[in-house]
């Protein structure tokens, strides 16, 4: 059983918040622990946003409680229902709905006091501040995900290389079979890697992007092109004398799957291939014509694949 850092922080922060609230003599001191539990999130940005939602919603809840309990209806169960009818739409309007649960606890606290004065409001305010403060303090530390992201990068590049080798082998060999399991695994890895990279983005409050996120986004676009290449490769006849040339080119590409930018070299080679095929005589049979058409379309897809890579800078990661 794996225990994550969020679990550890929750286990440490909850009793700490309760102890502080109890130590300074606050009523309903256990509620500080509830606020801490709710505010400890998976990333720094989420934690800050959660803290803001709950603090703002609680301030609105205190204001509404005073109006409905002290000025309008009184300390009657009906007052809670009427107030919630207006309070919840207010949180929606202010875009602070995640704070509804915490603020509901505050509302019930104020109701049980049977009066609302400055001392009681100060008590609730301190419960909120202690709970949020402990959560934010603990969430300053976030374990680095760089090693995990690098592992995803290596694994994805390995699968890319394998897919390109398989495409090369299909074009160069007459007897060939490939189950294509690398395609499914690559798609899954890319989704996981992008999710992890986005999580790392949210751990840097002042940074709106992360180099690994751009890298995996680039690989996703390339992977889409690889998937589009598959039917084109299949339509190119293995007896076509040009199939081996394309196969050799795929073989070269398979050896150059890494963060470094060698796309310019291969784009130059691709242009030479394109010019070479243009100089060749037109096909004489329908089958040869269709094969040649697929070949030219495949060259265009490879060009797009390389252009995407050319736009990515190795120094970004």
For position 243, what pLDDT does the model report? 78
Residues 16-58: pLDDT tens digits? 999 999 999 999 899 999 999 988 887 888 888 888 999 999 9
For position 169, what pLDDT does the model report? 84
**Contact partners, residue 63, CB within 8 Å, separation at least 6:** none
For position 90, what pLDDT does the model report? 93
For position 250, what pLDDT does the model report? 85
For position 208, what pLDDT does the model report? 57
Name the token pair of 269: 């080679």
For position 214, what pLDDT does the model report? 86
For position 238, what pLDDT does the model report? 62
Report CA Rg, the chain.
30
pLDDT tens, residue order, the chain (317 aa) = 667 778 888 899 899 999 999 999 999 899 999 999 988 887 888 888 888 999 999 999 999 999 988 878 888 888 888 888 999 999 999 999 988 988 988 998 888 888 888 999 999 999 999 999 999 998 887 777 788 888 999 999 999 999 998 888 888 775 567 777 889 999 999 999 998 888 877 777 656 566 888 889 999 999 999 999 888 888 776 666 677 888 888 888 888 888 777 788 888 888 888 777 777 666 566 666 676 677 888 888 888 988 888 887 654 55
Buried b (16+ CB within 10 A) or exposed e, 84-114: beebeeebeeeebebbbebbbbbbebbbebe
For position 2, what pLDDT does the model report? 65
Tell which residue, 195, 189, 194, has the closest CA to residue 158: 189
Query: What CA dihedral angle connects 55, 61, 64 and 66, to 10 degrees?
Result: -90
Distance CA 204, CA 215 (A): 17
Query: What CA dihedral angle connects 38, 41, 47 and 51, to 10 degrees?
Result: 0
Residues 143-186: pLDDT tens digits? 777 888 889 999 999 999 999 988 888 887 755 677 778 899 99
């Amino acid at each position: 059983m794996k225990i994550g850092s969020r679990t550890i922080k929750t286990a440490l922060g909850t009793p700490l918040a309760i102890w502080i609230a109890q130590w300074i003599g606050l009523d309903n001191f256990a509620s500080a622990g509830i606020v801490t539990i709710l505010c400890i999130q998976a990333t720094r940005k989420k934690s800050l946003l959660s803290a803001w939602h709950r603090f703002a919603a609680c301030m609105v809840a205190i204001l509404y409680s005073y109006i409905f309990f002290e000025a309008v209806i009184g300390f009657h169960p009906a007052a809670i229902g009427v107030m919630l009818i207006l309070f919840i739409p207010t949180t929606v309007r202010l875009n602070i709905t995640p704070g509804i649960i915490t603020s509901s606890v505050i509302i019930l606290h104020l109701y049980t006091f049977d009066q609302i004065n400055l001392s009681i409001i100060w008590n609730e305010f301190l419960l909120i501040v202690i709970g949020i403060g402990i959560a934010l303090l603990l969430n300053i530390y976030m374990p680095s995900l760089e090693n995990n992201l690098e592992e995803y990068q290596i694994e994805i590049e390995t699968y890319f290389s394998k897919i390109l080798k398989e495409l090369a082998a299909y074009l160069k060999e007459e007897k060939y079979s490939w189950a294509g399991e690398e395609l499914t695994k690559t798609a899954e890895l890319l989704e996981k890697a992008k999710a992890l990279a986005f999580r790392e983005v949210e751990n840097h409050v002042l940074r709106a992007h992360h180099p690994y996120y751009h890298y995996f986004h680039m690989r996703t676009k390339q992977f889409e092109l690889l998937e589009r290449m598959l039917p084109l490769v299949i339509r190119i006849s293995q007896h076509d004398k040009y199939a081996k040339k394309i196969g050799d080119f795929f073989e070269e590409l398979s050896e150059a799957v890494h963060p470094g930018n060698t796309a310019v070299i291969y784009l130059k080679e691709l242009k030479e291939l394109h010019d070479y095929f243009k100089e060749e005589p037109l096909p004489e049979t329908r089958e040869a014509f269709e094969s040649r058409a697929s070949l030219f379309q495949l060259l265009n897809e490879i060009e797009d694949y390389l252009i995407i890579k050319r736009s990515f800078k190795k120094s970004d990661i």
